[in-house]
Chains A and B, each alone.
Chain A
């Protein structure tokens, strides 16, 4: 369906309640009355022709007089995208109908909006704050947020937390065996806190508690110039730092309609894939460690160090690169770059079979990962589990294929897909992607054209008024950047749709009925980076 046909169809569904929004530049957008939202959303999801089954992004925004919620919907079948925008009538007690009954993944996103803007979603199953503690005053992302929250150092009692009270309420405090994983736990990969109830060794319910590394990046971005913002994005998903940088830069470039020189595009693509390889190597490391195979750590860190050396030579940083800037990249490549990348590819090709011999083929490993934590295709879409984890459930969700950026459209590569959806599939998929990435780099490394490495940009970038959305494929999935600009040198609102956040929402669903050890394996296989979730 063309965009126009789509709009017509929706306009016909709810006349008078829906209006086409002129303001948005990227995707067709509609303004919807708050009370018509839920019906319209149901229509959009369940109608065969529209079939919007993937909720890409759900963001709150403070428009001053009232608060808004913006939904980015996408159809995995038809590939079209629609933006729904709605507003609350006022800002004292703002409420909106939940859509979490339609898209399960919306549950977490709506909690985030509640936490940051104070919009209550009616009929939401679990309307609690998600990042900030229950005692926190005010809603930080509102423009008029000024509450001062002093530092509390005393630890909360377990039952002070609303969520935990809820968990315990089923059978009564004393009969539920509740344990706390984290926030400081060797295998939550950061500072995630999982409160789980147990039946013997079996996991009954899992309740993720986030916010232990919530740094308020989105709020900070509202007072930073675009060049500065790039540096903060590094620190979200630091394992694919480079790709995060790009997301913002691409978004700004799209808004300014800047043509990025071809050389820069090549460089970016190659660095992208190197980052992905580094990240998947780290996944291999930490997944092995989660399962108790400590030795894996040292092998893949050894290879990963080679990539970091290349990075260091290119831009001076090992981990958080900030190599991309709006318009291109910061510096030209080091003369050694091509040689070293080729050396690395050769080395990596030699090592990969070793990895498989050490871990993938091991009987214990297979016993622990096959048929564990199965995520069905349907659920993956509904939760919005993208990236390798989504592809392991058979969902073709690679942004590099769907919305190609840089030179991905010219590269010949296969999107890795597996259909089992269990821990083993997720693991193997990442190993497959390692090879895919090596292939992509190999195709590009000799083709890097000469020319400028960055387009000329003004020192102070003012993005024209409008709303822009940009997706990139990080090592963890679909990272979306939603930028609202009012023509200023700072963004009005910058929202990151982080892949990990949606993935985390699926964790409780996956773990029910498995053992504690499986919980670790499952959360390891989803491979989330906590600062990416909390932002």
Chain B
């Protein structure tokens, strides 16, 4: 009853196979996926930036962009045009290769994670059987870009920013990983589509009750930190480090950093939605058949984006409310609180699974 995108893709596959040899089909499909992915990527990025500005304006009792296009909707197009045509400065004394590569690493890390997200049934670029593991691996690539960018810029502020970010991401990676494992243990599979399917009769957040709830909260905090979002935005801490690790970047390269920040936030929220809130699965409540049928009526892609944007909104809410942490407090939070809690939580989850105390 839920529309399966794999029908569409397989018929496309059949169509291509009928006119082209298999190798070419593969190539064409890869290309199509790439284009679709990139387009979605860019559009999402713009929506997110626009959303951030409006949400931020809402919290700050002002209007936000409203002059360029209706309600300022064209604002992002203008920004994009501007950034595309801005000069690319390469300051003296930078390590040219690393300096140029860093933004691409960051945007690539975001893109790679993006590819694995299940947007709707049958709508994802790759569906590994080790999807969660893959996500963990690629999402930590971004820190490489930050470190390289900060180091290669030959600027003291960027180095401090990069080092902070290194310490931060590596630490919070642990909590993120542990919450992944907790949920994987619960789901019994690492395949993202499998995890979503397993939530057909109730989201993990409800099914796994206490440990899932703890994992959810820990994950929200840790993934915000991993994406370098406020209140954990120490790496770019405007009031301390000018613009942190990307201080020396201009134009398109800066746009990559800027975009990657938002997309990482989106990816974090999307993973949280997938692991805890059932991904594209509609809200089903036990035996309320009529209710479930109505819920099924809403297309899964809407469910997915709805949940994700809700979580994105929550992270924005964090950012515009809290002051920034200091580096030692940040590390204390991780090593003294979040990580022990996650470990304990994993144990709790295992016990609960073994005893069958879940719904």
Interface residues of A (CB under 8 A from B): 177, 179, 185-187, 201, 288-295, 297-299, 302, 358-359, 362, 364-365, 367-368, 515-518, 520
User: With A362-B323, A364-B323 known to touch, is A292 a contact of B156 (CB < 8 Å)?
Assistant: no
CB pair A365 B240 closer than 8 Å: no
User: With A177-B156, A292-B231, A298-B61 known to touch, is A365 a contact of B238 (CB < 8 Å)?
Assistant: no
> Can you name the residue of chain B whose Cβ is closest to the Cβ of A181?
B240
Contacts of A291 in B (CB 8 A): 239, 323-324
CB pair B323 A368 closer than 8 Å: yes
- Which of B92-100, B279-287, B325-333, B342-350 is the interface stretch? B325-333
> Can you name the residue of chain A whose Cβ is closest to the Cβ of B167?
A201
A293–B59 Cα gap in the complex (Å)? 12
Contacts of A517 in B (CB 8 A): 234, 237, 240, 324, 326-327
Contact partner of A515 among B230, B321, B323, B328, CB < 8 A?
Answer: B328
Count chain B CB atoms within 10 A of each CB in A201, A290, A292, A515 and give the residue with the most: A292
CB pair B240 A367 closer than 8 Å: no
B60 proximal to A (CB < 8 A): yes
CB pair B323 A293 closer than 8 Å: yes
User: With A292-B230, A516-B160 known to touch, is A364 a contact of B329 (CB < 8 Å)?
Assistant: yes
A298–B57 Cα gap in the complex (Å)? 10
Contacts of A186 in B (CB 8 A): 238-239, 242
Instruction: Label chain B's interface by main secondary structure.
Output: helix
- 57-85 of chain B: CB within 8 A of chain A: 59-62
Contacts of B234 in A (CB 8 A): 517
CB pair B59 A295 closer than 8 Å: yes
User: With A201-B327, A292-B231, A368-B326 known to touch, is A520 a contact of B321 (CB < 8 Å)?
Assistant: no
CB pair A302 B160 closer than 8 Å: no
CB pair B156 A179 closer than 8 Å: yes
Q: In the complex, how many angstroms separate the beta carbon of B323 from the nearest chain A beta carbon?
A: 4
Q: In the complex, how many angstroms separate the beta carbon of B199 from the nearest chain A beta carbon?
A: 34
- 28-66 of chain B: CB within 8 A of chain A: 59-62
A342–B213 Cα gap in the complex (Å)? 49
B320 proximal to A (CB < 8 A): yes
Q: In the complex, how many angstroms separate the beta carbon of A179 from the nearest chain B beta carbon?
A: 5
Q: In the complex, how many angstroms separate the beta carbon of B110 from the nearest chain A beta carbon?
A: 24
CB pair B240 A516 closer than 8 Å: yes
> Can you name the residue of chain A whose Cβ is closest to the Cβ of B62?
A298
Q: In the complex, how many angstroms separate the beta carbon of B233 from the nearest chain A beta carbon?
A: 7
Contacts of B230 in A (CB 8 A): 292
Interface size class of B (residues with CB under 8 A): 20 to 34
CB pair B325 A299 closer than 8 Å: no
Contact partner of B239 among A295, A364, A518, A520, CB < 8 A?
Answer: A520
> Can you name the residue of chain A whose Cβ is closest to the Cβ of B155?
A179
CB pair B242 A364 closer than 8 Å: no
Contacts of A364 in B (CB 8 A): 231, 322-325, 329
Q: In the complex, how many angstroms separate the beta carbon of B62 from the nearest chain A beta carbon?
A: 6
B157 proximal to A (CB < 8 A): yes
A291–B325 Cα gap in the complex (Å)? 8
Contacts of B157 in A (CB 8 A): 179
> Can you name the residue of chain B whose Cβ is closest to the Cβ of A289?
B239
Contacts of B238 in A (CB 8 A): 186, 292
- 213-263 of chain B: CB within 8 A of chain A: 230-231, 233-234, 237-242
> Can you name the residue of chain B whose Cβ is closest to the Cβ of A518?
B326
CB pair A201 B160 closer than 8 Å: yes
A365–B233 Cα gap in the complex (Å)? 15
A518–B239 Cα gap in the complex (Å)? 11
A–B pairs, 30, beta carbons within 8 Å: A177-B156, A179-B157, A185-B242, A186-B238, A186-B239, A186-B242, A187-B239, A201-B160, A201-B328, A288-B323, A291-B239, A291-B324, A292-B233, A292-B323, A294-B60, A295-B321, A298-B60, A362-B322, A362-B323, A364-B231, A364-B322, A364-B325, A365-B323, A367-B325, A367-B326, A367-B329, A515-B327, A516-B241, A517-B326, A517-B327
A290–B60 Cα gap in the complex (Å)? 17
Contacts of B160 in A (CB 8 A): 179, 201, 516
Q: In the complex, how many angstroms separate the beta carbon of B106 from the nearest chain A beta carbon?
A: 22
A290–B241 Cα gap in the complex (Å)? 11
Contact partner of B237 among A288, A292, A295, CB < 8 A?
Answer: A292
Contacts of A520 in B (CB 8 A): 239-240
> Can you name the residue of chain A whose Cβ is closest to the Cβ of B325?
A364
CB pair B326 A515 closer than 8 Å: yes
Contact partner of A295 among B233, B320, B327, B328, CB < 8 A?
Answer: B320
Q: In the complex, how many angstroms separate the beta carbon of A283 from the nearest chain B beta carbon?
A: 15
A177–B156 Cα gap in the complex (Å)? 9
A186–B241 Cα gap in the complex (Å)? 9
User: With A201-B160, A364-B231, A368-B329 known to touch, is A359 a contact of B323 (CB < 8 Å)?
Assistant: yes
A93–B305 Cα gap in the complex (Å)? 77
Count chain A CB atoms within 10 A of each CB in B233, B234, B237 and give the residue with the most: B237
Q: In the complex, how many angstroms separate the beta carbon of A33 from the nearest chain B beta carbon?
A: 50
> Can you name the residue of chain A whose Cβ is closest to the Cβ of B320?
A295
A368–B240 Cα gap in the complex (Å)? 14
A364–B326 Cα gap in the complex (Å)? 9
> Can you name the residue of chain A whose Cβ is closest to the Cβ of B332?
A367
CB pair B329 A295 closer than 8 Å: no
Q: In the complex, how many angstroms separate the beta carbon of B340 from the nearest chain A beta carbon?
A: 19
User: With A187-B240, A367-B329 known to touch, is A292 a contact of B324 (CB < 8 Å)?
Assistant: yes
A201–B167 Cα gap in the complex (Å)? 12
> Can you name the residue of chain A whose Cβ is closest to the Cβ of B61?
A298
Q: In the complex, how many angstroms separate the beta carbon of B227 from the nearest chain A beta carbon?
A: 16
Q: In the complex, how many angstroms separate the beta carbon of A302 from the nearest chain B beta carbon?
A: 7
> Can you name the residue of chain B whose Cβ is closest to the Cβ of A294?
B320
A294–B327 Cα gap in the complex (Å)? 19
Contacts of A187 in B (CB 8 A): 239-240
CB pair B322 A293 closer than 8 Å: yes
A290–B324 Cα gap in the complex (Å)? 9
User: With A298-B61, A518-B326 known to touch, is A292 a contact of B239 (CB < 8 Å)?
Assistant: yes
CB pair A302 B323 closer than 8 Å: no
A520–B322 Cα gap in the complex (Å)? 17
Count chain A CB atoms within 10 A of each CB in B59, B230, B237, B324 and give the residue with the most: B324
Contacts of A365 in B (CB 8 A): 323
> Can you name the residue of chain B whose Cβ is closest to the Cβ of A179?
B156
Contacts of A515 in B (CB 8 A): 326-328
Q: In the complex, how many angstroms separate the beta carbon of A133 from the nearest chain B beta carbon?
A: 22
A293–B323 Cα gap in the complex (Å)? 4
Q: In the complex, how many angstroms separate the beta carbon of A362 from the nearest chain B beta carbon?
A: 6
A514–B320 Cα gap in the complex (Å)? 26
> Can you name the residue of chain B whose Cβ is closest to the Cβ of A200?
B163
Q: In the complex, how many angstroms separate the beta carbon of A251 from the nearest chain B beta carbon?
A: 38
Q: Mark B311-339, 1 if CB is under 8 A from A, else 0.
A: 00000000011111111110000000000
- 280-321 of chain B: CB within 8 A of chain A: 320-321
Among all A-B residue pairs, the 5 with the closest Cβ atoms: A292-B324, A293-B323, A298-B60, A291-B323, A187-B239
A526–B127 Cα gap in the complex (Å)? 56
Q: In the complex, how many angstroms separate the beta carbon of A196 from the nearest chain B beta carbon?
A: 10
> Can you name the residue of chain B whose Cβ is closest to the Cβ of A521?
B326
A518–B230 Cα gap in the complex (Å)? 17
CB pair A358 B321 closer than 8 Å: yes
Q: In the complex, how many angstroms separate the beta carbon of A31 from the nearest chain B beta carbon?
A: 49
Beyond contacts A292-B239, A293-B324, A358-B321: 12 other A-B pairs, Cβ-Cβ < 8 A, are A186-B242, A291-B323, A364-B323, A367-B325, A367-B326, A367-B329, A368-B325, A516-B160, A516-B240, A517-B234, A517-B324, A517-B326
Q: In the complex, how many angstroms separate the beta carbon of A429 from the nearest chain B beta carbon?
A: 19
A431–B58 Cα gap in the complex (Å)? 26
> Can you name the residue of chain B whose Cβ is closest to the Cβ of A187?
B239
A186–B156 Cα gap in the complex (Å)? 16
> Can you name the residue of chain B whose Cβ is closest to the Cβ of A188?
B239
A359–B231 Cα gap in the complex (Å)? 13
Q: In the complex, how many angstroms separate the beta carbon of A157 from the nearest chain B beta carbon?
A: 14
